[in-house]
Chains A and B, each alone.
Chain A
Amino acid sequence: MDFTEEQIQRYSRHILLSDVGVEGQEKISNGKVLIIGAGGLGAPIALYLAAAGVGTIGIIDGDVVDLSNLQRQVIHFTPDVDKPKVISAKEKINLINPDVKVITYQQLFTAENAFDIIKDYDFIVDGTDNFPVKFLINDACVLAKKPFSHGGILRFEGQTLTYVPGATCYRCLFHSPPPPNAVPTCSQAGVLGAIAGMLGTIQAAEVLKYLTGVGDLLTNRLLTFNAKTMDFRTIKSTPTETCPVCGNHPTVTTLVDYEQATCELKR
C-alpha cells in the first residue's frame, strides 16, 4: 500500500513510533475489525479504530439511539436520538476518517448469523451488554479460530481479556452464563459513563497491538479495574482442560442462543 502525503500526515504519530512505523500503519490500514455492539464500549472502540485508520470496520447492533445512551455512548450525539446506532456510528466514523470502509449490520448477532458475519474479519471485539451474546461471541470465535477481545463493565468496574486461538477463552474463566433472573438488569445497576471509555480504549489498543504485532496481548490474563480505587489487576490464567468449548472434551460444538440473561451482579 502506498500512502498519500495526506495519509502520511494523518498517521504521522503512529508512523513515528518505532514499533509501528509505515509498515505497522499498513497493517492497520489493511485490518478488518468487527465491533459487536455500538454502545458504551463500541463507541470508544469505533472512534479510536477509525482515527487509527483501520481499513474496514464492521459494526453490528440492532438498536436505535436512546437519550439515556448519551451519558456514555460517545459516538452518538443528541440529534441522533431514535436513529439506528449503526448508522449514527457510521456517520461519525466517516467524518473522522474517510479512509475507513464501514460495513453496518442493523441486526442482532445470533447463532444463525455469527459464523457468516465473523468470517470476513481479522479480529472481533465484544462490546455487548448481555451474557448470551458474550458466550455466543466466545463460542463462535473459538470454533472459527478467530481472535477477539472480551469486555465487560458494571457500575465502577471493568474487565477485559484478549483471546487468540490456543489461549484462555471466556468460557475457561466463566464456564457458562449466569442463571437468568438471578440478577437485575444493567439499566437498573447503572454504570459510570467514563468507565466505558476506560475499558473500550483498552480494547481498542489490543486491536491495534494485534494488527501490528506490537507488544504482549492480554492473553491468558484477565485485566480488571475498579475506578473507585483506581486499582488495576491482571489475573493470570491458563486454558481450562474442562472448558466446554476449548477443553479436552468439548460439549459446545455448535452455536446456541442462550436465554436472555441480565448483566448485573449482586454481592
Chain B
Amino acid sequence: MSTIKVNGKDQTLTSEISISELLVQNNVAQPDMVSIQVNGKFINKEAYASTIVNHGDEVDFLYFMGGGQDN
C-alpha cells in the first residue's frame, strides 16, 4: 500500500498503478482536458500508461481554464 497526494490531498493506493489508471480512479472523464504533473514535472500524454505512481509522489491534475473575456 502506498500513499500519494493528488491535487494536494492524500490518496491511498492498494496496488501499483499508472497515471492512466489514476485518471480512471479519479473519475477524470476527459483526460484530453487535463494536464498532469508528477512532483512538479510535466508528464507527456504518451507516457501516462507507462508512468507508475510511487509512494510519496505528488500528482497534480491541471485543468484547462479558458474563460475570461467571454462573449
Chain A interface (Cβ within 8 Å of chain B)? 37-42, 61, 63, 66, 69, 126-131, 134, 151-154, 157-159, 172-175, 178-179, 182-183, 186-187, 189, 191, 196, 199, 222, 224, 233, 235-238, 240, 242-243, 261-267
- Which of A128, A178, A235 is close to B64, meaning CB atoms less than 8 Å apart? A178
Which 5 residue pairs of A and B lie closest in terms of their CB atoms, listed nearest first?
A: A263-B66, A152-B65, A39-B69, A37-B69, A129-B69
Residues of B within 8 A of A236 (CB): 40
Please tell me if the beta carbons of A222 and B62 are within 8 angstroms of each other in the complex: yes
- Which of A40, A173, A178, A235 is close to B70, meaning CB atoms less than 8 Å apart? A40
Please tell me if the beta carbons of A191 and B64 are within 8 angstroms of each other in the complex: no
B70 smallest CB distance to A (angstroms)? 4
Residues of A within 8 A of B42 (CB): 172-173, 175, 237, 240, 242-243
B33 smallest CB distance to A (angstroms)? 5
23 residue pairs A–B, Cβ–Cβ below 8 Å? A38-B69, A39-B68, A39-B71, A40-B67, A40-B69, A69-B70, A129-B71, A153-B67, A173-B37, A175-B35, A182-B30, A186-B66, A186-B67, A196-B68, A224-B62, A235-B40, A240-B41, A262-B66, A264-B66, A265-B33, A266-B30, A266-B33, A267-B30
A240-B41, A267-B27 known; A173 and B68 CB under 8 Å?
no
Interface residues as binary, B28-58 with A (CB distance below 8 Å gives 1, 0 otherwise): 1110110101001110110000000000000
B26 smallest CB distance to A (angstroms)? 9
Complex alpha-carbon distance, A154 and B34, angstroms: 14
The A contact surface, by secondary structure, is loop
Complex alpha-carbon distance, A199 and B37, angstroms: 23
How many residues of B are counted as interface, with CB atoms below 8 angstroms from the partner's CB atoms? 26
B23 smallest CB distance to A (angstroms)? 11
Is B11 an interface position by the 8 A CB rule? no
The B contact surface, by secondary structure, is loop
Complex alpha-carbon distance, A157 and B42, angstroms: 22
Please tell me if the beta carbons of B62 and A134 are within 8 angstroms of each other in the complex: no
Residues of A within 8 A of B7 (CB): 233
Complex alpha-carbon distance, A126 and B30, angstroms: 25
Complex alpha-carbon distance, A153 and B64, angstroms: 9
Please tell me if the beta carbons of B60 and A128 are within 8 angstroms of each other in the complex: no
Complex alpha-carbon distance, A235 and B41, angstroms: 11
Residues of A within 8 A of B44 (CB): 175, 242
Please tell me if the beta carbons of A235 and B37 are within 8 angstroms of each other in the complex: yes
Residues of B within 8 A of A240 (CB): 41-42
Residues of B within 8 A of A38 (CB): 69
Complex alpha-carbon distance, A66 and B71, angstroms: 7
- Which of B37, B45, B60, B63 is close to A265, meaning CB atoms less than 8 Å apart? B63
